[in-house]
Structure 1
């Protein structure tokens, strides 16, 4: 590449990164507004979420087109190519986070336009805060190319999954004890499920950040392996650590 081409490529790449972070900021706002509307039935918040979702869709199309142009014009290699591939995949997950936030808003509209009697009392704020924090952290990890923070997001998804299962058990109990709550409880199940799916998408994006920085595909390999790859440890490092731990254990047993 000539110096001029290099500068243009760097500018194009930075534009993609910047647009993606802006898109992520919109989705963060959507999640917050959607969950704030659950206990209040604030239709202004519901409408804001739906409007933002249109902006998120526009970002997805624009960024996707820009990535295609960059690949065609510059034919990037190594880390730059990984960046393009990672953002392309993360783009889909981010857009789906926006879709899930819109689902929450639409469910809230349906709930508050219908009869609100027999509403099950269940707290989803902590779960919402958890997935919001995951999304914020994955955007931070992407901006700073921080695989350690990305691995923390992968680990955090386990807690969100536990909260989702707990919420589901509670709602099933409500429905069994009082059939009058079934309709509203099902709506709450949809909301909790949407939050759990946002957590899944945040985890997917975190795995892509690890791939971007380390070149390691950690999908479907578990949080422990994601953390190991994020630290840049090799199989040899892990074997050496295991051997050292075994020697320490043996020595302690001998001393005893």
Structure 2
């Protein structure tokens, strides 16, 4: 009976952690969405709100890391259970870094619009990649919530699309800067935003990889898992 009670309590503890991770995920999704609105509209107050909200994301990271550490010490999980906790800790780290990237976008938006630099249509330049990264983040969190390895596998392939979009943006902005040196400052700001969005895609991919690790026990980092899984179908 003691073992059964302990197992039930462990499941409850783990579910509580999962709920807080998803809460953290919702916060960083809001950060990204609001940062892009600030970048599009020049809303300085919204930029500062995104920057301020990063404090809450950072606090959640610290709290969740501590909770996971205590869970390991108290419950001493083995095999699959330990794998789940360790992968969850990594998901927490990636979410915090997504929050950092959203904060970078918000800061750039504030600086850009305070200078009145409107030579380039900044938002339209990154609109497609921003939507792709936001969708990828949302789907990665959904895959984590449902432990859906198939959805996670599909997400991994999407990161290559975002990388391609980023390279296209970079080439376009370099052309702008070469043709008109007056665009250099604003083009660089837009490039930093595009790079931050591309990094958000990388972190969303990481979360998808951790979902596969939890479900299948496979560490697929640095492998072409999406292509291999497609061949196995």
- 1:223-251: CA deviation from partner (whole Å, max 9, x where unpaired): 435635xxxx9xxxx5xx9xxxxxxxxxx
**How many angstroms apart in 1 are the aligned matches of 2:110 and 2:147?**
39
**How many angstroms apart in 1 are the aligned matches of 2:120 and 2:111?**
13
**How many angstroms apart in 2 are the aligned matches of 1:37 and 1:226?**
40
Aligned Cα RMSD in Å? 1.6
**How many angstroms apart in 2 are the aligned matches of 1:118 and 1:23?**
36
**How many angstroms apart in 1 are the aligned matches of 2:228 and 2:36?**
30
Q: Name the counterpart of 1:89.
A: 90
The structure that has the greater radius of gyration is 1
Is 2:195 the counterpart of 1:193? Answer: yes
Q: Name the counterpart of 2:169.
A: 167
Structure 2: runs of 5 or more not aligned: none
Q: Name the counterpart of 1:111.
A: 112
What TM-score comes out, normalization by structure 1 length?
A: 0.86
| 1:117 Cα deviation after fit | 4.5
Q: Go from structure 1 to structure 2 and tell me whether the alpha carbon gap of 1:126 and 1:33 turns closer, same or farther (over 3 Å shift).
A: same
Q: Name the counterpart of 2:56.
A: 55
| 1:114 Cα deviation after fit | 1.3
3-state DSSP class of the match of 1:123? Answer: helix
**How many angstroms apart in 1 are the aligned matches of 2:54 and 2:229?**
33
**How many angstroms apart in 2 are the aligned matches of 1:107 and 1:129?**
18
Corresponding residue pairs, total: 231
Q: Larger deviation: 40-49 or 183-192?
A: 40-49
Q: Name the counterpart of 2:70.
A: 69
Q: Name the counterpart of 1:28.
A: 29
3-state DSSP class of the match of 1:2? Answer: helix
| 1:160 Cα deviation after fit | 0.3
Q: Name the counterpart of 2:178.
A: 176
Q: Name the counterpart of 2:151.
A: 149
| 1:39 Cα deviation after fit | 2.0
Conservation of the 8 A alpha-carbon contact between 2:156 and 2:226: no
Q: Go from structure 1 to structure 2 and tell me whether the alpha carbon gap of 1:153 and 1:70 turns closer, same or farther (over 3 Å shift).
A: same
Structure scoring higher RCO (CA < 8 A, sep ≥ 6) equals 2
| 1:162 Cα deviation after fit | 0.6
What TM-score comes out, normalization by structure 2 length?
A: 0.94
| 1:212 Cα deviation after fit | 0.5
**How many angstroms apart in 2 are the aligned matches of 1:101 and 1:212?**
27
**How many angstroms apart in 2 are the aligned matches of 1:93 and 1:182?**
31
